[in-house]
Amino acid sequence: MRPAQPQVSTPLRGDGGLEADITRALAATANTRGVFGATWEYFDEIGSTNDAALRAAERGVAEGHVFIAGAQTAGRGRLGRTWHSPPEAGLYVSTIIRRSALAPWITLAGGVAVAQGIRESTGLPVQLKWPNDVVAVTGTAFQSRRKLAGILAEASSGADAIQYIVLGFGINLRQSALPPELEGRAGSLEGELGRPVDGGVVLAAALAALHRVTEQVTASGPAALLAEWRRLSPSAEGGRVEWDASSGTRTGVTAGIDADGALRVMTPEGLERIVSGEVRWK
């Protein structure tokens, strides 16, 4: 295993595998991605690409610099969970964003970008599960969804403003990314498609989508992002859900997201607005 030495923009190794796929795909798509992936580093193995990006952001590294790892030893997910990150089984990616106006929207924007990137690069009609899990759905059964990708956004705040955001995403490329306990609940692009997938092409498409989505929000506000998120998330309307509240398990029927991206749920007690945490589809 090569030590975790960064290779900026022009990695030297040419012996195939994920790094070679990424090198090829990013070189071919530079004019579609804006700042995202204009410079990048690949690590055979790292603790967490989000941690690397947070440290780099603190040092002043520019917006759009991308950290990619072949494996993570301390990959983390939302709600304090572990993100299983075995070698070359998934895409483990983080980038830096310095536009504080994007902060309220970056979670939804990350989900839309990764979903669009997967759809465009593989043809797989993935959907979003609130707030930003990327899932494969069989038929109309929301509960039979397999999670293919997840997004973790972390921000650093100054006295009165967000200083930077790190947007991390993990995409399961191969079934070997999945621990046995996630059997049935998680899937991979290759498992869904039944064929090999070029991780570099998926990454390039996701970064291009992130560029489009963030430019759109920066220029015109979140309306188009919210509309696209709703289009990609049919389960956010009319899905029977439950979630854990301090009063115990609550149930209801989803009623879309509001203008702030909160999930609305109609319950026997009235309309609830869920801003964080996890909702389970029944």
Which residues of this protein are in contact with ligand BTN, per CB under 6 A?
Answer: 48-50, 72, 75-78, 81, 83, 92-94, 133, 150-152, 168-170
For ligand BTN, which is the closer residue by CB, 72 or 235? 72
Q: Which is nearer to ligand BTN, 77 or 234 (CB)?
A: 77
* Minimum gap (Å) between residue 154 Cβ and ligand BTN: 9
Q: Which residues contact 3 (CB under 8 A, 6 or more apart)?
A: none
User: Please, what is the minimum distance in Å from the beta carbon of residue 45 to ligand BTN?
Assistant: 13
> Which CB sits closer to ligand BTN, 229 or 255?
229
Of the two residues 111 and 252, which places its CB atom closer to ligand BTN in the complex?
111
Report in angstroms the alpha-carbon separations of 39 from 9, 66, 67, 166, 246: 5, 7, 9, 15, 45
Which residues, 6 or more positions from 243, have their beta carbon under 8 angstroms from its beta carbon? 249, 250, 265, 274, 277, 278, 279, 280
Smallest separation, CB 54 to ligand BTN (Å): 10
Which two structure tokens, joined as six digits, stand for 259? 């203008």
For the bound state, the minimum distance from the C-beta of residue 271 to ligand BTN, rounded and expressed in Å, comes to 26
Which CB atom, from 204 or from 255, has the smaller least distance to ligand BTN? 204
Q: In angstroms, what CA-CA distances link 95 with 56, 98, 245?
A: 10, 10, 33
Residue (40 or 169) nearer to ligand BTN, CB: 169
Is the link from the previous residue into 234 a cis peptide, with omega within 30 of 0? Answer: no
Residue 72 beta carbon to ligand BTN: minimum distance, rounded to whole angstroms: 6
Minimal distance, residue 248 CB to ligand BTN, in Å: 24
Report the candidate in 155, 29, 151 with the shortest Cα–Cα distance to residue 99: 155
CB of 110 to ligand BTN, least distance (A): 9
95 versus 255: smaller Cβ distance to ligand BTN: 95
In the complex, minimum distance from the CB of residue 267 to ligand BTN, in angstroms, rounded to a whole number? 25
- Quote the CA–CA distance of 238 and 91 in Å, as a whole number: 32
CB 112 within 8 A of CB 232: yes
147: Cβ contacts below 8 Å, ≥ 6 apart: 129, 133, 134, 135, 172, 182, 185, 186, 187
Looking at the Cβ atoms of 11 and 77, the one nearer to ligand BTN is: 77
